[in-house]
Structure 1
């Protein structure tokens, strides 16, 4: 069992506190700390960091913290505390930015339908805030599926450390490509250089199709993986260069 390293220990403590404290104090910090779409009145730039310490349930927290400990420990031991923290927050913030970009692209595509139908921005936001409309100008130009989609994008914030964790997973695969991993439902050991890409490809598949189960931010996972790959690959290629 790997030793609990300093940075990971403190990250886990903060995540647990941010999950337990609001429950004990009966406070809802979602509007303040979860990551909202920029058009939403609750959006704040600080949410790209704070959302990394918010979780939607105990199992969400447990799985993320287990992955952080299991895959992040050898990385912190190899890189050191400061370098690991830089990597972790870079992957997490990058995941949030890419997630926002994808959601904004989808949101804007449907938003233009409202605009082309003659509604101004205040009317559109008013409809989205209400989550319903009887405006006759939208009859025949907006499907129920499109309306449900834009309302969901507008109202549903993202929480969790998963984006940063996916960065950690990719960095682990790059640094320890032959380490054997296995899932509970597929208990056959597979080298991390194959195992981790399969997980990321599954996220890409579910993100691009309608087969996703549950409200999972697949593109945040992919975003964290992309940023994690870029940083970890660069560090590995340049680790022996002297400046």
Structure 2
């Protein structure tokens, strides 16, 4: 269950409307549900034109499909798996980023993945129409692995795997699949879109935000507390706020400690005081987003 899906993380204020009170994850899940139902309630031709993407779509100026396809699932299992993974990894990410950054990251990853999928036709790949949130979901799981590389994920609910190994393993699977597709095989799985999501996260979080680059000296150094789960400081894993007054460093470290505990032991392991701290910080970030 995601952080913002708990009762104590829901604000009690009077928002401007229902949508403003929903978390970014809830909005994304809701749109995916609506589009999934559309495949069974609306003409298939309409859905194929507007909620699948390919180079043929782009050439016909259906450019919005580069985004709408990332909310679209025709197959039930494809839909359920993507939504389950998104649901499982999004809570800590939205808690760090806030609603606006979470949604921006999802949309950016979706667009980047679709563009990469369509551009593969320039390299001799077949122009296969694609749909699904898999590219954006891969971006979310990669972001989680950057922040929490040693967080334990239970594959199929029984096999413990560190996040970095799980994400890396799936990336290798997609690389192998893409190579097979280059040779005319590999099926119709959107390996390029999956890798697009992974690359997007590495670029935006790892390179642009500097979380995977060596830290150089600066004129204003700070002694940073190390986290027990990763052995690295919170600022090594996610972008620091541009205005220090907005998010105090102590608050950042407190949030990192709480989310580390949640990722290792579950939300129910938090004490009443820790729950209150998480609720307070979460509400502050949602208000600022």
User: Counterpart of 1:99 in 2: which secondary structure?
Assistant: helix
Q: Which residue of 1 aligns with 2:148?
A: 176
Task: Give TM-score, length-normalised by structure 1.
Answer: 0.73
150, 158, 172: which one aligns with 1:201: 172
Give how far 1:39 is off.
7.4
User: Counterpart of 2:209 in 1: which secondary structure?
Assistant: helix
1:159-185, Cα deviation, whole Å (9 max, x unpaired): 00111111111100001111101322x
Kindly indicate whether the alpha-carbon contact (under 8 Å) linking 1:35 and 1:43 is maintained by their aligned counterparts in 2: no
Q: Which residue of 2 aligns with 1:223?
A: 196
User: Does the C-alpha gap of structure 1 residues 241 and 21 become closer, same or farther in structure 2, counting only changes over 3 Å?
Assistant: closer
Unaligned runs of 5+ in 1: 108-152
**What is the CA–CA distance in structure 2 between the aligned matches of 1:23 and 1:64, rounded to whole Å?**
19
Number of paired residues? 196
**What is the CA–CA distance in structure 2 between the aligned matches of 1:17 and 1:213, rounded to whole Å?**
30
Give how far 1:52 is off.
0.7
User: Counterpart of 1:182 in 2: which secondary structure?
Assistant: strand
User: Does the C-alpha gap of structure 1 residues 157 and 12 become closer, same or farther in structure 2, counting only changes over 3 Å?
Assistant: same
**1:36 maps to 2:63:** no
Higher relative contact order (CA 8 A, sep 6+): 1
1:147-167, Cα deviation, whole Å (9 max, x unpaired): xxxxxx34x311001111111
Q: Which residue of 1 aligns with 2:209?
A: 235
Taking the TM superposition and a 5 Å limit, the aligned residue runs for 1:100-179 are 100-107=118-125, 153-154=126-127, 156-179=128-151
Kindly indicate whether the alpha-carbon contact (under 8 Å) linking 1:48 and 1:96 is maintained by their aligned counterparts in 2: yes
User: Counterpart of 1:181 in 2: which secondary structure?
Assistant: strand
Task: Give TM-score, length-normalised by structure 2.
Answer: 0.62
**What is the CA–CA distance in structure 1 between the aligned matches of 2:50 and 2:30, rounded to whole Å?**
20
**1:73 maps to 2:91:** yes
User: Does the C-alpha gap of structure 1 residues 7 and 240 become closer, same or farther in structure 2, counting only changes over 3 Å?
Assistant: closer
Q: Mean Cα displacement is larger for which, 82-91 or 232-241?
A: 232-241
81, 98, 105: which one aligns with 1:87: 105
**1:21 maps to 2:51:** no
User: Does the C-alpha gap of structure 1 residues 63 and 43 become closer, same or farther in structure 2, counting only changes over 3 Å?
Assistant: farther
Unaligned runs of 5+ in 2: 6-21, 212-237, 244-289
